[in-house]
Amino acid sequence: MLAISGAAIATVDAAGTEHRTGHLVVGDDGRIAAVGPGDVPADLLARLTGGDPDRVRRIDGTGCLATPGLVNTHHHLYQWATRGLAQSDDLFGWLTTLYPIWSRIDADTVHAAAAANLGWLALSGCTTSTDHHYVFPHDGGDLFAAEVAAAARIGLRFHPCRGSMDLGRSAGGLPPDSVVEDTDAALAATEAAIDRWHDPSPESMLRVAVAPCSPFSVTPRLMRESAELARRRGVRLHTHLAETVEEEQYCQATHGCTPVQYADDLGWLGDDVWLAHGVHLDDAAVARLGATGTGVAHCPSSNARLGAGTARVTDLLAAGVPVGLGVDGAASQEAGHLGEELRQALYAARLRGGPAAMTARDALALGTIGGARCLGRDADIGSLQVGKLADVALWRLDGLGHAGIDDPVAALVLGPPAPVELLLVGGRPVVESAELRTADAADLAAGAAHAHRVLTTTARPEQE
C-alpha cells in the first residue's frame, strides 16, 4: 500500500476535480483506494491497513502535482534506432529514405529500440503506450515478441498494434516490395498475435490491436478483412489516415474519394477504431468521425517535424470525437517526450484557433482520459478516481524552471518539462526521483546506440 500526501492533485475526472493540497492512496490491489483534499484521514488509513501503519509506504508530495499517467496513443518504437535521418523531407520522401534501412531490422534491434523508447516514455510521465509495428522483413525474426518483451522489461501498460503492409511499389504502393507481406500471411500473423498476447481483462498490461498501415501501403482487401478479423476477435482497430496532402491526393487518384470516405467504405469507422493523425479533414469528415465515435491520435510534434499540417483538434472535440495524444515514431519526432506533447497540443490548437482555443486543462485531458478513450480503457485508466487502476504521475514543480507559476496544471503544461518524481503503473513504481527503476538507463542507451549503428552502417548484399 502507498499513500501520497501534500501534493496538488488534478484528477481529470468528468467534473475536473482538483485539490490544491491533497492525498492519494493506492491499495494492495493496485487500484486507487482514496483521493481527496488534505492529508490522508487517519481513520481511513487505519481501516485500509487493518491498523498496521507499517503496511503503508508514505510519499511526501510537497511541491508536486499528481495527475493520471499519460497515455501514448500512437508510436513506432523501432524507429528509435533511426532518429535524426531525412531531416527535411515530407512524409513520402521521409518514408522512401527510411524504408530501405528499416528493411534490415531484426528482433535484436527492435527489442533494443523499443526498450530504450519505452524507458524514455516512462521518464516523460507515460504509463500506457501503444505501438504500431508494420515492418516485418522476411528474415527478421519474431519482431512482435521482441517489443512485447521490451514493454514487460520496462513495466508500462502496452497496446501493441500488429501492423501490416501488402501493397509494395511494384503494385502501385509506396513501400519497397522487400518490406511488404502476403495478404493472407499478414492476416494469419495478426490473428496469431491476438491468440498469443491479447489480454482483455480490466487490469490488462497487454492488449493487441489490428493495424494495417495506411491507404498507400495496404490493399483494400487487407483493410476490409482486417476490420472483419478485429471485430470477430473483439479487439480494436488502428491505422494512419489523413496525415498529409499527398495522402489525400493519392486516395482521390486511386480510389476516387477522400481518406475518410475510403475508410468508411471499408468498414473502418466506429467506436472500436482510432486513427493516427487526422490532419487533413473537411467538415464532413469531422462530422462523420464524431457520429461514428471514431477516435484520433493527435501527434502535433511529428506533424510539425514533417510539415504535414495542424489537426483540427478543437473541431474534432466539439464533434464528440475521442482525441488522445501520440509522440509518433522517434524518427519523425526525435524528442519523444510525451509530457512535452501537452504543450505542443495546446500551441497547435492556438495557432489554428487563437489564444482561447485550448486551455492547459484541455491539453492535460487529451494526454490522459482522451487517450484512454481512444484505447477503450477509460473505465480503468485516464483519471484519478477511486476504483481505477493506480496509473499515476507525480510531477515535481518546485524547481527553478517552474518557480513562480502558481497554477500547477499551467506549470506542467506551459512550463519546461517537469521531472517525474514518481510514476506508478498499477501501483508499482517504474520511475522514482526522475530515475528509471525497472531498467538501467545507461544500458538502454547503449543498446539503442548499437542498434542504430547496426542499421545505418550495415547493408545486405541485395542493397549494395
- What structural domains does the chain harbor? 2-68+388-436 (2.30.40.10), 70-374 (3.20.20.140)
pLDDT band of residue 364 (cuts 50, 70, 90) is very high
DSSP-assigned letters across all residues of 272-328? TEEEEE--S--HHHHHHHHHHT-EEEE-HHHHHHTT-----HHHHHHTT--EEE---
Distance (Å, rounded) from C-alpha 380 to C-alpha 159? 14
User: CA 238, CA 102: separation in Å to the nearest integer?
Assistant: 21
pLDDT, tens digit, for every residue of 136-152? 998 899 999 999 999 99
Count Cβ atoms within 10 A of the Cβ of residue 357 and give its class: 0-12 exposed, 13-18 middle, 19 or more buried: middle
Residue tagged 495522402 (cell numbers): 247
* C-alpha dist (Å) from residue 370 to 41, 55, 173, 363, 379: 31, 34, 33, 9, 12
Q: Is the pLDDT of residue 346 over 80?
A: yes
Mean pLDDT on 406-415: 98
- pLDDT value of residue 460: 44
Burial (0-12, 13-18, 19+ Cβ within 10 Å), 1 = middle
pLDDT digits (tens, 9 = 90+) for 257-290: 999 999 999 999 999 999 999 999 999 999 999 9
What confidence score (pLDDT) does residue 107 get? 98
Are 293 and 315 spatial neighbours (Cβ–Cβ below 8 Å)?
A: no
Structure confidence at residue 332 (pLDDT): 97
pLDDT tens, 111-145? Answer: 999 999 999 999 999 999 999 999 999 889 999 99
| Residue 319 scores a pLDDT above 50 | yes
Mean pLDDT of 338-349: 98
CB atoms within 10 A of CB 96: 15
Distance of CA 38 to the CA centre of its chain: 33
Say if residue 462's pLDDT is above 90. Answer: no
45 or 385, which is more confident? 385
Report d(CA 446, CA 455) in Å as an integer: 14
Residues 6+ apart with CB under 8 A from 108: 141, 146, 451
Q: Give residue-wise pLDDT tens across range 158-213.
A: 999 999 999 999 999 999 998 999 999 999 999 999 999 999 999 999 999 999 99
Dump pLDDT digits (tens) for 28-83: 999 999 999 999 998 988 888 888 888 999 999 999 999 999 999 999 999 999 99
pLDDT at 77: 98
Among the listed ranges 14-18, 20-24, 65-69, 453-457, which one has the minimum average pLDDT value?
Answer: 453-457
Asked if pLDDT for residue 93 goes beyond 60, the answer is: yes
**Does the structure show a pLDDT above 70 at 459?**
no
Q: Average the pLDDT over 355-376 and give the result.
A: 98
Determine which helix (DSSP H) or strand (DSSP E) holds 241, and give its type and residue range.
strand 237-241
DSSP annotation of 205 reads: S
Q: What is the pLDDT of residue 461?
A: 39
Percent of the chain scored above 70 by pLDDT? 98
Query: What is the pLDDT, as a whole number, of residue 463?
Result: 38
C-alpha cell at 291: 457520429
Region 446-462 average pLDDT: 81
Task: Look at residue 458 in the predicted model and tell me its pLDDT.
Answer: 63
Average pLDDT along the chain: 96
Whether pLDDT at 13 is above 60: yes
Of residues 383, 384, 393, the one with CA closest to residue 413: 393
Contacts 24+ apart (CB under 8 A), 248-255: 248/280, 250/215, 250/216, 251/215, 254/172, 254/215, 255/215, 255/220
CB 249 within 8 A of CB 216: no
Q: Does position 429 have pLDDT exceeding 80, yes or no?
A: yes
Phi, psi dihedral angles at 428 (to 5 degrees)? -90, 130
Q: How confident is the model at residue 464 (pLDDT cuts 50, 70, 90)?
A: very low
